[in-house]
A and B are shown apart, each in its own frame.
Chain A
Amino acid sequence: METNFDQDVIAAIFKFVWSKKAIDREKIEDGEASKGEERAGTSKKNRPTSANPNAVRLSCELLRLFVTEAVQRAATIAEAEGGTKIEATHLERILPQLLWRSSLRCSWML
């Protein structure tokens, strides 16, 4: 099998982001509750998001594709320039296009 990201690491990153956001949600809710609003089952509502194992595996693949695509594109530039090593200047040239095309957050303008 091809080398890929460690599922444990990706799951840990997700868990880290999600538990941080769950704490933020709780804080907001606490603020609202103190204003006298009724809140039922808040603990359940604020439980952090989790992911099923296949979703984590698929995320590993998505991130692996991101890395391989970045390397491939930089490699194309390096080869075109007749080099034998991928250098920072090659990466610089492919970076804008890569980020615009593969990142959801940046590609909303397209």
Chain B
Amino acid sequence: MDPVTMEDCFDVSDTEKEDDEEEATAHLRDRFRISTISIAESEAKRNNLEISQSVIVCISDLAFKYAEQLADDLELFAHHANRKIVNMNDVILSAHRNKHLADTLRAFSHDLKAKEPHSEKKRKKSSSSNKEDKGFSSVHHIDP
């Protein structure tokens, strides 16, 4: 066995947990990177350009960090609304500083809603269930 330091004596379970955590993160990071590679390469191809692997790795790590921060933000937004489940409005809210991005996401969310036949019927029948959306669009209009 390795020489055991004082800290290890006190926090054996914690350090083990950290190792597991690191392993889990590394695995997620790898799977995440695979997706980034295909997205980045197809995007570069659209410009008839090649893209170096180091650039992709860097963008992937940034996007991963962004995903972790996004998880933090989404949880805060959901909890602030007394919810335990994150919904699409939370995701749109996370992009509120970038108006173009928020608009794109809002359009995408409408597409996703339209693909769900049940929720669509409900929404068309009762205007009250649309409150959340209306709240968003009214804020949007007030904005100069």
A6 to B29, alpha carbons, bound, how many Å?
12
**Main SS class of interface, B:** helix
User: A58–B39 contact, CB under 8 A?
Assistant: no
Which of A13, A79, A84 is B28 in contact with, Cβ under 8 Å?
A13
Do A55 and B105 contact each other (CB < 8 Å), given the known contacts A13-B67, A62-B94, A101-B98?
A: no
User: B31–A6 contact, CB under 8 A?
Assistant: yes
Q: Interface readout for A1-24 with B: 1 if CB under 8 Å, 0 if not?
A: 011111001101110111011000
Chain B residues with a Cβ closer than 8 Å to the other chain, count:
60
Query: Does residue A105 face the partner (Cβ distance < 8 Å to B)?
Result: yes
Query: Does residue B51 face the partner (Cβ distance < 8 Å to A)?
Result: yes
Interface residues of A (CB under 8 A from B): 2-6, 9-10, 12-14, 16-18, 20-21, 47, 49-52, 54-55, 57-59, 61-68, 70-72, 74-75, 78-79, 83-88, 90-91, 99, 101-105, 107-108, 110
Minimum Cβ distance to chain A for residue B122 (Å): 14
Minimum Cβ distance to chain B for residue A105 (Å): 6
Which of A3, A10, A55 is B88 in contact with, Cβ under 8 Å?
A55
Which 7 pairs across A and B sit closest by C-beta, in order of nearness? A17-B71, A51-B86, A85-B50, A71-B43, A86-B51, A75-B47, A58-B91
